[in-house]
Structure 1
Amino acid sequence: MSNMTSFSLLSRILHWMMAIMILGMLFVGVFMASTVGPEYHRLMTLHRPLGIAILLLAVVRLANRLCSPPPLLSAELPSTMRFAANASHISLYALMIAMPLVGWGMLSAGGYPIPLWGQSMLLPPILPHNPVLWARLRATHTVLAFLLFGLVLLHISAALFHRLILRDGVLQSMLTRKSRCDGALDSDRMSGR
């Protein structure tokens, strides 16, 4: 059994980097939905490569999670909360992978070129040109965006709940690296041993 009570350094870096990217992507998406003309195209120029970067990093993050499992949740946590934590993490990973794939498929079905940076690098279409499929995927992309936004809010709320109410170190485990030995030393210092 690992004596670490924190996430690995790579896990923490990927988590916070992707948190910033996903929040940025959600805001870009909101502005895109309410913008027309040249501003829309500028936002789309940012949206596409950011989406693909999130897709690639989500795959890296999933592989990292399998190779470097997260710390175990406290045994004192009720089973319903454990289930909710696991279900929300699975859902977040699924959405981090599904959203960019649906967006890529939507652009493919719309017959749009999918440049990442200028015209120098184009992604290949992953679906045939089909306006009906494009419309369905666009609606799906929107629904998934709202689901992701809701899950992000839930994730932030849970982190604050753990920090402010339970005070169980769950948020701290994503901020710093600490081993069980460090925790024992801290408790020894506090008790005067």
Structure 2
Amino acid sequence: MTDFQSFCWSRRGPALRLFGAVLCALFVLNAGPGAQAADLPKASGPVVLTVAGQVSKTNRPGFSAFEDGFLNYHEKSFGPAAEFDLAMLEALGMQKVEVSFDAWPSSYTFEGPWLKDVLTAAGASGRDITIVALDGFGSEISAEDIAAFDWIVGVKRDGRYLTIGQRGPLWVVYRRPDGKAPTAEDEQRWPWASFYIEVK
């Protein structure tokens, strides 16, 4: 063994320990705040819903006044958030809820994931939420009401996707657990053209 080989061999242990320390440091850095974005897959299609506020599973950076021009118009600002395309919402499990209201021309069957499953997917930790529609209307929903009703984030109505201009992209409704017909107060709480949820 040459003097150079002996030198290298004697340094192998410390060198490996240093290399491991560097790897650990890089891992810690990558597991910082920005790494939370990996908790939720990135949307591959057009985003139809953004969930922000007290959420821990995110896939997009915080608010940008330029990139989020429409949210900026509604004076929304937030940190890292969760955004969903239709495929991501459907992957949470498609449920069906039939709702009939006197002022509607007929009863409708809504399809989409449960609201509670959407909030779980985003790692929501707050108690209350506000669902915001495209026109700025906000529906305040308490944690108690989320638990009391079968809220569904409707992406379809009677088998057809909801679209912009036809109460889409999302219509959030619920069925009454007592089986009674919904009241005007119930209908007022069902935000259509929904696109944003703030968790508080």
Using the size of structure 1 for normalisation, the TM-score is 0.25
Find the structure with the greater CA-based Rg: 2
* Larger proportion of strand: 2
Select the structure with the greater relative contact order (CA < 8 A; seq sep ≥ 6): 1
* Larger proportion of helix: 1
